[in-house]
Amino acid sequence: MAFVRVCGLGELEEGTPKRVELDGTPVSLVRTEGEVFAINDICSHANVSLSEGEVEDCMIECWLHGSSFDLRTGKPSGLPATRPVPVYPVKIEGDDVLVSVTQES
């Protein structure tokens, strides 16, 4: 699994998603509840950016139709979304936030 530095920890505001792109994959980074999470930035229901939504209780809400996704698992909490979105491993090294969007073979 290859980790890539995406930003400094200080660049992430608590509860405010930050969109980044890694190897062509749109990712929403979220710092909340003392952790940093990386989730695919595209809603599985409506193909819109999750990083434009609200974060609450380790969930990110799609701004278009209100589906919320668990930042830990990617699973939706209710309709209209029925499919999860991918989540990615995050490592913190010093002030660096590293994310891996590659799959192990």
* pLDDT tens, position by position, 4-58: 999 999 999 999 999 999 989 999 999 998 999 999 999 999 889 999 999 998 9
Backbone angles phi, psi at 69, to 5 degrees: -125, 140
SS (H, E, C) 26-69: EEEEEEECCEEEEEECECCCCCCEHHHCCEECCEEECCCCCCEE
Residue 103: the pLDDT is 60
Residue 62: the pLDDT is 93
Residue 47: the pLDDT is 86
Confidence band (pLDDT; 50, 70, 90) for 79? confident
How many other C-beta atoms can be found within 10 angstroms of the C-beta atom of residue 47?
A: 8
**Which residues are registered as beta bridge partners of 20?**
27
3-class SS of residue 16: coil
